[in-house]
Amino acid sequence: MTNGNSHFDSVCIKSTGSYVPSKILTNEEVVANLPTSPQWVVDKLGIRERHIAEPEEYTSDLAARAGLDAIASAGLEPNEIDLIIVSTATPDRKMPSSACIAQTKMGISNRCAAFDVAAVCAGFVYGITIAGQFIQNGMYERVLVIGADTFSKVTDWSHRDCVVFGDGAGAVVLERKDRENGLFSSILLAQGEGMDEFTVYPGDAYFKMNGKAVFQKATTAVPECIQEILRINGLGLKDVSTIIPHQATSGVLKHIAEVLNIPFSRIQTNLESYANTAGATVPLLLDQVNRRGLLHKGDILLLVSIGAGWTWGASLYRW
């Protein structure tokens, strides 16, 4: 079912921010005791290295650093934020939410609302869609949406799947701002039948992944989702300036480009240096693209992601 396909002319991305841990693990280090090679990881997944949180560094730490970066970039003070949404699949604790913990770590003392969104790699798209509706209906003026994950803490480093993930966080400050020709449109979907294809079972320390099932679902659902949101808004791929997708693997992204019949060069990626940062991939990449000066007023951005569950969704936004 489609969830939320309205235009929110009053929603504006005021700023972006990001943070990754300083520790870097290269393919050579990761696969040293695995039955694969560093070059295989590059060729098949597009990954050369990833950032990994220290043992005492948690999702809320990454979220707080990215959130403060976005707040500073917006020219705001932390207490000017009305709501904090943290999209994560690797919260610090079962309770309280990582958003509440990050609130304290950011020094936000205004008692603003804070909660987590659990939609795994699609969490950030879910999060900004929720935030956009709060802004549209007038409940909040400024919302900080953060995607943050530390998958290194649920990774079995003796299993081949460990090469896929890295840790990181990205954030945006959304605010109310009436704009001519504004565009903020999202669709969200889920299919619970995929619950066992990528999961952490109760009592388990590490994730389990059916790589083939993930590839098949991503390369089918993502193109369909993109085509649907463009159809809803009367647009074509030619109208989209920048495509920022979830960074699953380069193989997945290349196949999606083929299905959409577009050059792979049209798809933004940071897999080589960051790997798959799960719920952080879209906001982390968005911040990097923004800071490189690749976004211009009037550009139409397409954000799209898919995660375990299955959960997936897409957002269109006019910069």
Does 277 share its domain with 147? no
Start-to-end CA distance of the chain, whole Å, equals 27
Are residues 142 and 113 part of one domain?
A: yes
Q: Are residues 204 and 166 in the same domain?
A: no
Looking at residues 1-18, what average pLDDT do you find? 70
Residues 251 and 282 in one domain: yes
Joined together, the tokens standing for residue 236 give 């074509």
- More confident position, 194 or 293: 293
Give every CB contact of residue 128 below 8 A, 6+ residues apart in sequence. Answer: 145, 172, 174, 186, 303, 315
Structure confidence at residue 62 (pLDDT): 98
> Is residue 230's pLDDT more than 60?
yes
- Dist CA 247 CA 249 (whole Å): 6
Q: Does residue 310 form part of some domain?
A: yes
pLDDT of residue 9: 59
Number of domains in the chain: 2
198 pLDDT exceeds 80? yes
Tell me the per-residue pLDDT of 118-174, one tens digit each, with 9 for 90 and over: 999 999 999 999 999 999 999 999 999 999 999 999 999 999 899 999 999 999 999
* 303: helix, strand or coil: strand
pLDDT at 6: 43
State the pTM of this model.
Answer: 0.95
CA 187 remoteness from chain centre: 15
* Residue 152 and residue 259 in one domain: no
Q: Do both 68 and 144 map to the same domain?
A: yes
Q: Residue 149: inside a domain, yes or no? A: yes
Instruction: Give the model confidence (pLDDT) of 29-42 as tens digits.
Output: 999 989 899 999 99
Q: Domain of 263?
A: 184-318
Query: Quick one: 91 and 170 in the same domain?
Result: yes
| pLDDT of 2 higher than 70 | no
Identify the H or E element spanning 159: none
Residue 15: how many CB atoms within 10 A of its CB? 21
| Residue 4, domain member (yes or no) | no
* Residues 171 and 191 grouped into a single domain: no
Whether residue 222 is contained in a domain is answered as yes
Please give the backbone phi and psi of residue 142, each rounded to the nearest 5 degrees, phi first: -135, 130
Neighbours of 215 (CB within 10 A): 15
Give the Cα separation of 294 and 234 in Å (integer). Answer: 24
Task: Give catalytic residues, as residue numbers.
Answer: 121, 246, 276
Q: What is the CATH number of the domain that holds 291?
A: 3.40.47.10
pLDDT recorded at residue 162: 94
Average predicted confidence (pLDDT) for the chain: 94
176, 206, 240 - which closes a domain? 176
DSSP state for residue 276 in the 8-state scheme? B
Residue scoring higher pLDDT (150 or 10): 150
Taking residues 293-307, report their average pLDDT. Answer: 96
Domain boundary among 123, 157, 176: 176
Cα 244–chain centre separation: 10
**How confident is the model at residue 182, as a pLDDT?**
84
With a pLDDT cut of 70, the percent of the chain lying above it is 97
State whether 281 and 156 are in the same domain: no
Kindly state whether residues 188 and 310 are assigned to the same domain: yes
Q: Choose the final residue of a domain: 176, 206, 241.
A: 176
